[in-house]
């Protein structure tokens, strides 16, 4: 890693620390202003922290294995710029399979971007993880009916595709304007 990369990484860490400090300060101020909510805030925060401590190490190990064992060429071939619309559908499919919390998907998305995945594929992957899950669809079918499930699923897929393509174009446009 050269000195410019180290400097950039150091700045990113500083920004993250500043963000953390601001959030903690806001949380402390709010618990002082609303003392009756303090117990609920502390309990929810510890539950979330505990959940992350249990899940994130496994995710980080999987990400390390992904970085080592999945060649960049495979990612570029199937979900890179040359993959076309197929990449979005692969992103939708892969994102709809897991049932974990959404924050697990972000390290995966980051690893895919670094390996050359299309932005539209990443948008589809994250959106599918958030709102299209196979177990969720089965429960939705059971409680809300086939017509509702199919209509919501169809509209979600259509708008996720549109959103992915639109965001990809906006990012390309902004990158061209920065040059």
Where in the chain are the domains? 70-179
Digits of tens for pLDDT over the chain (179 positions)?
677 878 888 888 899 899 999 999 998 999 899 999 888 988 998 998 898 888 888 888 888 888 889 889 999 999 999 988 999 999 999 999 887 788 888 988 999 999 999 999 999 999 999 999 888 899 999 999 999 999 999 999 999 999 999 999 999 999 888 86
The per-residue pLDDT for 1 is: 62
Query: What's this model's pTM, rounded to 2 decimal places?
Result: 0.78
* Phi, psi of 137, deg, nearest 5: -65, -40
The per-residue pLDDT for 58 is: 85
DSSP letter string over 79-130?
Answer: HSGGGTHHHHHHHHHHHHS--S-GGGHHHHHHHHHHTT--HHHHHHHHHHHH
């Amino acid at each position: 890693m050269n000195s410019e990369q180290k400097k950039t990484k150091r700045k990113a860490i500083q920004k993250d620390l500043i963000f953390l400090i601001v959030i903690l300060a806001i949380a402390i101020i709010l618990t002082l202003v609303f003392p009756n909510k303090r117990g609920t805030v502390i309990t929810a925060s510890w539950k979330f922290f505990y959940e992350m401590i249990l899940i994130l190490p496994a995710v980080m190990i999987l990400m390390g294995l992904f970085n080592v064992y999945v060649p960049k060429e495979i990612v570029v071939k199937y979900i890179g710029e040359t993959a076309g619309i197929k990449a979005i559908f692969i992103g939708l499919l892969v994102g709809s399979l897991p049932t974990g919390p959404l924050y697990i998907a972000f390290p995966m998305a980051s690893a895919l971007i670094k390996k050359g995945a299309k932005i539209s594929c990443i948008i589809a992957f994250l959106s599918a993880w958030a709102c299209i899950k196979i177990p969720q669809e089965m429960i939705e079918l059971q409680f809300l009916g086939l017509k509702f499930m199919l209509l919501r699923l169809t509209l979600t897929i259509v708008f996720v595709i549109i959103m992915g393509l639109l965001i990809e174009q906006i990012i390309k446009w902004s990158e061209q304007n920065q040059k």
